[in-house]
Structure 1
Amino acid sequence: MYPSKQDTAHEMNQKPSPPLPAPVTGYPAGPFINQHHNEIHSHPIQHQQQQPGRWSSGLCDCFSDIPNCCITCWCPCITFGQIAEIVDKGTTSCAVSGAIYGVLLWFTGCPCIYSCLYRTKMRKQLMFEDRPCNDCLVHFCCDACALCQEYRELKHRGFDMSMGWQGNVERQNGGVAMIASAPPVEQGMKR
């Protein structure tokens, strides 16, 4: 019932095990799927322990991904649509977001009004610092560089941007789409 003297002496001589490292915050490099909500999310962690992260590439590292840099310079609505679909977790399609961006670009010449909101949303999801300056200012000064940086970050996190949200979820689930539905209900009384 009580521990023997040998057991307590053995426990006292053992070195305490080192503490486990804190889990990584933000979107994981290999997305984890919450099968109940069909969402890609990070490891659960309490807000007091979270440290703000940093972008995996700099704002002016546009030429590290030449194809995306060219697409973003010539037709930024495509890059923005891909980013918005992933950030919105599939609730808004790439085409709709890209069209809204294109309309704002055509009629106002200032689509950064819309794109800076997605940078803020993405930064909060990834728990990044507001660096190098305010999100709106980053998009206002160089919208193309900001879009390229956001695209590279999501790509760095393991997303295949050409597949969209649903394609990434299906890829993670091994090609099986997770559709949330209620179990079938039988009508009437049966003996």
Structure 2
Amino acid sequence: MTSLVFSQPRSLVVSSETDDWASGVCDCCDDMADCCLGFWCCPCFACKTTKAYGQCLCLPLLDIFGCIPPVTMTMRVSMRQRYGIKGNMCQDCVCATCCSPCVWCQMSREMKTRKFPAVLGDIVHRR
């Protein structure tokens, strides 16, 4: 039995511009619903955000091992690279280690602001 494909993967839009984050790490009050969920149940919020980004739903649960949350840091690095945001891995490590819920809220706000599809496929560069 063969299955039919009704939709094709959409292209991933990658910005070639070097930009800043749309909001700061401490700007949690910009989206109170995300802020409350991120503060009171960060693991649930991190899983929800990771799924919206197009990754495995349970990936953030690996952050419970170790001092530095590896998944939070790598998601932040990935988002910086995908959206062309200025920064470096050292800043990502410090932010992820010092205030993980704030970082997850920032990444969620960034995805809402950018509204780029989080789908793997052909890469299209904007100019």
Q: TM-score, normalised by structure 2?
A: 0.71
Match of 2:70 in 1: 113
Deviations along 1:75-124, whole A, 9 cap, x unmatched?
Answer: 1112211222233x3xx432x224x24xx43x65x462221111101111
Matches within 5 A, 1:64-79: 64-79=30-45
What amino acid sits opposite 1:65 in the alignment? D
Matches within 5 A, 1:111-190: 112-130=69-87, 134-158=91-115
Q: Which runs of 5+ in 1 are unaligned?
A: 1-34, 160-164, 167-191
> Radius of gyration: which is bigger?
1
Higher relative CO (Cα under 8 Å, sequence separation at least 6) belongs to 2
Match of 2:12 in 1: 41
Given that 1:119 and 1:135 are in contact with CA atoms closer than 8 Å, whether structure 2 keeps it comes out as yes
Matches within 5 A, 1:87-102: 87=53, 89=54, 92-94=55-57, 96-98=58-60, 100-101=61-62
Aligned residues: 112
Identity of aligned residues (%): 26
CA distance in 1, matches of 2:30, 2:11: 26
Q: TM-score, normalised by structure 1?
A: 0.50
Q: SS at the partner of 1:42?
A: strand
Given that 1:80 and 1:147 are in contact with CA atoms closer than 8 Å, whether structure 2 keeps it comes out as yes
Match of 1:52 in 2: 18
Alpha-carbon shift at residue 153 of structure 1 (Å): 0.7
4+ residue stretches of structure 1 with deviation over 3 A? none
CA RMSD of aligned residues (A): 2.8
